[in-house]
Structure 1
Amino acid sequence: MKDNVQLLPSDVAAVLGSPDRLAALDAAIPVFLGPDSDFDDLAALAAGLSSTPISLVTILGRTDQWFLARQGTPEIRAPSEDSFCARMIAGAGGEPLVVLDARKDERFAGLPSVVGAPHLRYYAGAPIVLDGQAIGSVCVFDVKPHTRIAPDLLPSLERLASLAASLIRLKEEARQRLLAAEAVSRDEKRHALALDAANVASWLWDVSRGTVSGNQTFYRMLGIKPAKEMSARRFFKAVHPADRKLTIGLLRDALASGKEYDGLFRTVKSGRWLLGRGRVHEWDTDGRPAVFLGINVDVTDGQLASERTRLLLRELNHRVKNTLAMLQSLARQTLRQTSDPVEFMDAFAGRLQSLSEAHGLLSDHEWGVIHLQMLLQKQILPYAMDYEAQIEIHKDEVELGPDQAVGLGLVLHELATNARKYGSLSVRSGKVVITARVVAEDGQRVLNMTWHEVGGPPVKQGGRRGFGSLLIERSLDKVLGSSVHVEYLPKGVTAVVRMPL
């Protein structure tokens, strides 16, 4: 161990290793990316205050002091244990400090930068404070001792340090906003592709304001250039004239009665057939409809196909209505948290995507049966860091009908998203073990499936329950005799699914 580490004063060691200080530093500057030109003017101003050749804007880590800006030196770092600033923070209680001649001050006389090159003599510095913790400094140096302190030097350094703190905070907030915007953009693109592939549109009609807004698929279906919102009149004009009167009448009946709207209409621009459902979600203080929630599905191919396709359409309409009823329930639950269309779509899109994936598989198999293996991969793959390594499946050959696939797909989506956010799929070492066995009960085939998370973060007692948990337990309500039971055990979430086949 080096001598200067052994002789490191206890108060300086305490400052460098302070958990609160390091936490504030990590929150303010998670990663040091090198000198930042945005701080150069602060360093230049600091040097000009006392006509010193060296000035720094620094952040003080446990082992390294990094220079956000520097003047008079090519270095971008120095050991924290040899830092003037660490001693300033430890010894001055967060107050600015001036050292006129470091050789005559026992705190600094033995530092390598004083004993050897560049032979520093004069120092003046003020701490950069964020969240009550000194995370760095604005300071100046000279290789010659000074005999006096420049007028107003310390208050001026304090103001520069305060400006540096504000700039650090603003830059980190901007970085976080950029990361959040990029994440939202990625999610929006992924959700838009999924919804577009499934031809599912969702929209909100603000009856009191007379405006309608929806997702990208909604505008595409109507053949309208995407916008945040449009007038209700423009929405109705997008309906084919031959179907407009009936569609408006059905919507008016739904507004007046509070019952569900259920209709089929063509669009003006494309002539596509859209199946729609909706109902009033909110009323104003006078009891008048305020917000109407609607969903559309493109059913053109079914309308225009042969007799075989028309038979398939009857089954599809039945399944779509069941799914749309589920979507209505999901949407109403999500809208209880927000009535803002943008926030609603962000919260709703993931669950809508899960149903879209199940619908896509069923459509590929003409709404017959699909294999459990396909459903597992479709719903879990997007949330696993390494699907082959993290997902272990032991199963019998299982075929699922439409209601079973849609309900179980939503269960798997909620379990997978929860595992990615909080559980075993949030770390590379975590795994999900799935066991699916078919047993005979009173002459009926029954699927018993378990989902067990291992190797993830410990589950907090009393946590991870909410609408997602309720949704998991109710997703198979349309499959008679089925049940889902979820246990939030300390070592990982375990879910047990029972579903007649």
Structure 2
Amino acid sequence: MTKKNNVSQAAVAAVLTSAERLDVLHSVVPDMADPDADFRDLAEMAADLFDAPVALVTLVDARDQWFKAAVGTDETHAPATASFCMHTIAEPSDGALVVADTVADPRFAGQPRVVGAPFLRFYAGVPLVIDEQPVGTICVFDIKPRPEIAPQLVAQLQRLSRLASSLFKLKHEAHQRALKEAALSREEQRHAMALDAANIGSWLWDVRSGSVSCNQPMLRMFGMKPVAIVQARDIFSAIHHDDRAATLSKLRSAMTQDEEYDGIFRVASTGRWLLGRGRVHERDAQGKPTLFLGINIDVTEEQGATQRTRLLLRELNHRVKNTLAMLQSLARQTLRRTSDPQEFMTAFAGRLQAISEAHGLLSDHEWGEIRLSALLAKQLAPHVRDYKKQIEVHKDEILLGPDQAVGLGLVLHELATNAAKYGSLTVPGGRVVLTARGVDEDGQRILHLTWTEVGGPPVDEPTRRGFGSILIERSLDKVMGSSVKVEYLPAGLTAIVRLPL
């Protein structure tokens, strides 16, 4: 399959130099020349999808095409006017450009990379659209022509382009929020009373000049005179001698590894204990840190409360990373199991909502424990017409931690989705009976939960295990000792969950 591009060269040039398009590109991705590892997985997925040796996530300005992520090449950019992708971005916003044989296409037959190494013969690309403007592409190349391409491959490449566009937008919004936070930290005068009342010291370190701008609580903590700007060496010298080496080592490691700095130390002159947190806020073109943003909290008299805050922050960071990894895995697996765009979006959106509901409950309880009854209601209510009549619950009072709540939430979502599509919830008289008991086994509290469907159509065990079945079995993998067993009984599906609490 070859999709012909009838856009004239003049029209391509007009899109390439469009002021509106370039404004969006430069505002959303100002660092377009820097490769970004966050897009590497998308490029690898595109290469795997087409079994292609080369795949790129690119941004195209008026003069150059920049490779934010590349598979199969070490190049980082190429001239825009000699690229395949300049034709792709001139397509309609949801279009695609497929060149089955570059030698047979007069637009590309004379290009250096076609007539010379690496002798490219096939191309498929989809534009990346941000704020209705095509700013780049996700594309694949092969050194062999491909006379026929399945339409669903192009459709999946379009889905990857939408994911890449969303990721660019999210990263831009996150960067803008960080800039606003830095600006707020510089406006010390406006926030001095609030920070003083909370006894939080804030500071912004200009690494190149060595100067540190900070608020008054910060100076008081270090026993320094009230001045607007101090030198970093004076602050480091104020740390107790026994704690200084370890503190500076942690700080250097965080800056080098691009990790969050987190440490507790004493001030030599006052003997008070301070909790310090921070991370590199800006880096130069070579990746060297230029601005470091941080806070200090006096924990001498408030160690208990501050420790709880620190653990909560760590838990949130851990949960966010786990959730991103889980979403990426869910997206890949769901995409791998279906070629229908609508089916993919429906299945993935439902699983995303299940995670969101569990996270919402945990957030309301500051990532502590939540009640099983609340999780049941959140996950099952969307799938029934009358919750009280169709969902029968017999349970002990069970409290779930974060890992248990997120994993069990996905299990309940998949079971409820299956029941609403094929099981007892497809008929008005059908019900789900849930029994949840907490028992002590060898000194450990265990949840035994049974899901039983009654009053539905006869059940046959499926001949092929879908991703939903796999997800049910593996959603609790993070909880050691857990298990889920599903039985397809003629009277209705039954699931038995064992979950350490």
TM-score, scaled relative to structure 1: 0.44
Larger Rg: 1
TM-score, scaled relative to structure 2: 0.44
